[in-house]
Structure 1
């Protein structure tokens, strides 16, 4: 009797542990945003929550906002829920997560997604501390400058979804301006090196300024190598050219 009771108790405890394990290890969803995680104010944004197992109810959570921030229910099981923001404003900048309802409860939260909204302060200026023509393999420092007292500056590279670099602001005594310095490189000719920078205040880190004018860095390595090869090819052809001219003169003579 004692053996039977112990066996049943052991089996029940193990089944309970397996059930708890399944609830705690629900597949967490993935979160994405279109057209990108950096968007100008007034633009439309779609935040998508995707799952592999399918669900009928999805929730979107924004840090600092009501919980849940948005809820979407569907009559049929689906693998994706889309949350539309028709026109982004200052209050939409922030960090988002999503989760969904499972047969045993709510799933784990997705990884965080940061949405930055731009266009709320005057634009900074972006320049290089040297020439905009850089030799392949070198590193260049970009300088983002503003008269506004931003706490931080952000550098973005054209074609990339996420900010490239974030730097604390430094005060320039000689001009009374604020700057962020960004080392970039080593550069190479196989990529396009186009950048913009923004400024923001630390109390609202997802609310950015207008973008700076576009700065393009030109990498000279490709042009230099092709020019060198052209010179070498011409030197190699020189003896054959001289021989041809000599034979031509002999025939005419």
Structure 2
């Protein structure tokens, strides 16, 4: 049996009245709810449901969070100790602004979800608010361009202008040379090498000894054959 929806209903906020209702125009069983000019009032959780041909309302969909950005001044974003970091090291991204309360949000370009949310903490020496996002041990996947946003505690889904982009470059691979490893590892490797060469020498000596034994047996048989030949000649 082919499913057919007679109408779709859009809700904003949990337990709210329907925000909009749309009738599908064809048999594709989908429709769109258009927001022509987004404002901070549009931020929040949205859910939808549908009416079947028997006018039975379905269960609500999973909630979708709509975040509205561009409200308020942009924070600043910096990297400590440097935006260029070796793989395996630790890195912290600091987002700060003149916000008096709320949270900071860190996003990486190309990422499906925010990289993190942190409560703003005051800095007494300059009157600014800051949040530190630790990253690490970093890997090549941490490389890319990051931005951060700020929001107030009253409107957590209304974010500020984005910070200037900050590019993180992850270089090289973790240092695994013997000098950076455990001091005993070098001795273990040397002992293993010595054991390898000792076994190899023993094998060589064994092969040489076996060759000497075979040569001795052949020489002994040759002498016996010579004696027998001489004895036969005398007789």
TM-score under structure 1 length normalisation: 0.63
Task: State the partner residue of 1:152.
Answer: 103
1:134 to 70, 79, 85: 85
- Determine whether 1:85 maps to 2:35: yes
CA–CA distance in 1 between the matches of 2:77 and 2:124? 19
Give the structure with higher Rg (CA): 2
TM-score under structure 2 length normalisation: 0.68
1:135-178 residue CA offsets vs partner (Å, 9 max, x unmatched): 11223111000012131000011001321100011011111110
Q: How many residues align?
A: 174
2:7 to 32, 57, 60: 57
Task: State the partner residue of 1:112.
Answer: 63
Q: Pick closer, same or farther for the CA change 1:54–1:221 going to 2, 3 Å.
A: farther
CA–CA distance in 2 between the matches of 1:106 and 1:86? 27
Look up the SS of the partner of 2:95 in the other structure. strand
Q: Which moved more, 1:99-108 or 1:210-219?
A: 99-108
Contact 1:94 1:114 in 2 (8 A): yes
Look up the SS of the partner of 2:68 in the other structure. strand
RMSD: 2.4
2:49 to 93, 96, 99: 99
Contact 2:24 2:30 in 1 (8 A): no
Q: Pick closer, same or farther for the CA change 1:185–1:104 going to 2, 3 Å.
A: farther
CA–CA distance in 2 between the matches of 1:180 and 1:65? 34
Structure 1: which 5+ residue stretches go unaligned? 1-51, 226-253
Look up the SS of the partner of 1:91 in the other structure. helix
Task: State the partner residue of 1:168.
Answer: 119
Task: State the partner residue of 2:150.
Answer: 199
2:139 to 171, 188, 194: 188
Give the structure with the larger strand fraction: 1
Task: Give 4+ residue runs of structure 1 displaced > 3 Å after superposition.
Answer: 75-78
CA–CA distance in 2 between the matches of 1:184 and 1:211? 20
